[in-house]
Structure 1
């Protein structure tokens, strides 16, 4: 069995919490750290939520608090209409915790962990890309020491999929487009798992109900935390929840469930397209431009949605990955 050593960079977040439990239960995963960023809540809230999840589910893993604002400007307001005021679907949370955060800032934790285990660490980033950009700014050499980077973010226009904050931009990218563009300039192997595939995979109510009935404490938590999230989707005309962050974990565990396209990736940082992710496919030629001399990265263009759902279900219910 291949063991993946993972740092989970996250802004919990309903779907972030569901993805964290996916990582926690997958026998192929060695979770070596959680780093937090702003996004679905303030940095104080997302760090509290990460510590709460670690404490509640007995995860022996450090949590390092990260950036509270983007590289440029101020953060967007948290989307409490999607994730609730406490970002975990407004479930009841304790007033205080016994678990404390690692004293290092998230970007320093990433640097130290990668340098301690060169070519072994996978970064699974499902929030703003600020921590990754700060780590690169402080220590650019880590790009050559990371095993891979898997990002839930972006929308590449496959089959007409657009952004979910603006017609051009997905939330994690528009939350700090400068950081996203910077990390795409680095020569580490990045795979974008964007809305093009995450919106193709749904978890309907009866699926989530089965997890609640059969999945023990984790399954019941997934049901509870997703009630607010599901109501948001249904109010918007989507009958079941999209599988965003857990799709990035699924790519790590079963990349065969996805089809990808390679090419240099840029992120727009100005105007009405701010936050748009645009790939120059390796198979196409263009006149000289802003994508030249940029490394080639992967973007997911299709997914086996049924296979992904079964992978998640099997992992939560049994802790075993089905072949």
Structure 2
């Protein structure tokens, strides 16, 4: 099914944010960008709300541009009396998102998106029409690329905030008139219809019972909105429930079969004293305009039950109940998973090259994990590259809200050596981000970040270590008190029988063997996912080709990286002769954290060679118990087998989830 290309133009207050739950999750829409305007609140507020909204809903991939500060030719009037000072009632984001608006303003972003689109684009306008009018005035050729404008506002015989005019028209009547008379198909979702899409008090309580962060946000906003509307508009006497105007317009774009329409000739009053902003619709065709010449497609009825079904499904797609505090803190989403009290709190320590990035496909989509942050270290490539790859990878997969901290740029005592011969100069092979984000890691260094995240957590945290252990070793050296807050370290590296890049040492140990020894002797439960096991979690060439057929950007990225990775493995380590397929080491290790039932482990005693010229980085595993260590002295849970098909199943499920 071809997705509908859409640009959303909004003034994000309560009902705009509610509508995002449907538009940002719809499989029917391809959201090209979002532009903001002053309306429900001033434009700085509506823009920040939009940025925060796309972040909490996992859509930081969508560009957001700041638009009009005021109407074309009138003073600004806002709707703060309904939406509150911050535009979202009593709801507060505990932290502002790191996502920033585009450098281009709203008009320029719309113009560039329209120019770049091979298909005509729908503009969903749920704000005063100032941005759209400016677009058509300044770039009249852009109209040829617009399929239609779907506008929330106008009415036949009702109004808000005046008896006859609706807010989005009254706020800028000249803009509304210009757009309506532009000749571009204009679909009006009027208050006559949006007032039939209402939430009852029971519906609002049902939203609260869903309990995930997005639903909790909707619940708190709706309660405020309901009180404000009742107080200001006597809505308890006039309406059947809480009218969610922008949701109605959004649902018309996603599911037009739930609506009926009729064609009218329309105009906007721009000079009246009592009727300023009135949408004059010739619904009795007094002027005898032929139907094909009428300029307004008036959305005249809505299947309320059908729209609310879609809305509740969208809310539930953000996951099951999460801790109430988490709903407002750091934009942590449920990722469709368990209650946060049941999810595993995790910090990922990585040197993001190809297999780290592939492992993110699973961890970032997992219902089992609560990812508190990601730290980076020099390894597969240098620290600037591993950090850049991590920040952009998280944003690309819709998890840009997860904080990233840059760690150590070199091993504890040795010169730095990388694996660019396998991962490519940038770390991601032939893949590049076409639209890299304009922000970087947090200011706090990786080691301090680890310490702060551990100490502030009420639960013990699992560290998923996919890189040389430099960051964690420094953490132990500088903050030994942190150990009591670590549940376990799950480490990709080490082996009994094989090595890479030397015959006996594995890369993540060989790069910084002193760090590996410190961590191994640190007294924290240490789970080793060795090359002996990761090489059994291979990707066959047939499976790689299947990835190439999955229609989403994340799968495209994985296919590009894997194709490069496999060619390098064949060239550099004779992988085609030694292995059954392409070994995705970090994916195997990540799967142990998300799905431990797919693995088996055995307790061994182990140490790391730091001096032998031929064996530096060798993980000495006493697998035959020659040293006769007690069970208490055995310091490694050695992951010695994997259900390969099970890991591939959860990986492909994760990959396909990015198509939604």
Per the normalisation by structure 2, the TM-score is 0.45
| Residue of structure 1 in register with 2:311 after alignment | 312
| Residue of structure 1 in register with 2:166 after alignment | 170
Answer whether contact 2:10 2:125 (CA < 8 A) is retained. yes
- 5+ long unaligned stretches in structure 2: 319-660
Aligned length: 311
CA distance in 2, matches of 1:55, 1:40: 20
C-alpha deviation, 1:263, in angstroms: 2.5
1:231 to 1:43, Cα distance in 2 relative to 1, 3 A = same
| Residue of structure 1 in register with 2:139 after alignment | 139
Helix, strand or coil for the counterpart of 1:97?
coil
C-alpha deviation, 1:32, in angstroms: 1.4
| Residue of structure 2 in register with 1:104 after alignment | 104
**What is the aligned-residue RMSD (CA, Å)?**
2.2
CA distance in 2, matches of 1:237, 1:96: 33
CA distance in 1, matches of 2:148, 2:288: 30
CA distance in 1, matches of 2:184, 2:294: 8
What does the per-residue CA deviation read over 1:75-112, in whole Å, with 9 as the maximum and x for residues that have no partner? 11x22221111011131234643111101110111111
Larger Rg: 2
CA distance in 2, matches of 1:18, 1:26: 13
| Residue of structure 2 in register with 1:254 after alignment | 255
CA distance in 1, matches of 2:307, 2:211: 17
| Residue of structure 2 in register with 1:184 after alignment | 180
What does 1:17-36 correspond to in 2, within 5 Å?
17-36=17-36
C-alpha deviation, 1:294, in angstroms: 6.9
What does the per-residue CA deviation read over 1:8-30, in whole Å, with 9 as the maximum and x for residues that have no partner? 11011000000012111212122
CA distance in 2, matches of 1:24, 1:212: 20
1:181 to 1:120, Cα distance in 2 relative to 1, 3 A = same
- 5+ long unaligned stretches in structure 1: none
My pick for the range that moved more, 202-211 or 7-16, is 202-211
Answer whether contact 2:193 2:302 (CA < 8 A) is retained. yes
Question: 278, 282, 303: which one pairs with 1:276?
Answer: 278
What does 1:114-129 correspond to in 2, within 5 Å?
114-129=114-129
Answer whether contact 1:118 1:146 (CA < 8 A) is retained. no
Answer whether contact 2:204 2:223 (CA < 8 A) is retained. no
C-alpha deviation, 1:295, in angstroms: 5.4
Helix, strand or coil for the counterpart of 1:25?
coil
CA distance in 2, matches of 1:318, 1:45: 27
The answer on 1:266 being equivalent to 2:273 is no
1:136 to 1:294, Cα distance in 2 relative to 1, 3 A = farther
Answer whether contact 1:114 1:142 (CA < 8 A) is retained. yes
| Residue of structure 2 in register with 1:299 after alignment | 298
Greater RCO structure (CA 8 Å; 6+ sep):
1
CA distance in 2, matches of 1:126, 1:318: 23
CA distance in 1, matches of 2:305, 2:31: 26
What does 1:76-115 correspond to in 2, within 5 Å?
76=77, 78-94=78-94, 96-115=96-115
C-alpha deviation, 1:287, in angstroms: 7.2
What does the per-residue CA deviation read over 1:103-161, in whole Å, with 9 as the maximum and x for residues that have no partner? 1110111111111114332110101100000000111122221122100011122xxxx
Answer whether contact 2:91 2:220 (CA < 8 A) is retained. yes
C-alpha deviation, 1:43, in angstroms: 0.7
C-alpha deviation, 1:225, in angstroms: 1.9
CA distance in 1, matches of 2:287, 2:219: 48
| Residue of structure 1 in register with 2:227 after alignment | 231
Answer whether contact 2:111 2:135 (CA < 8 A) is retained. yes
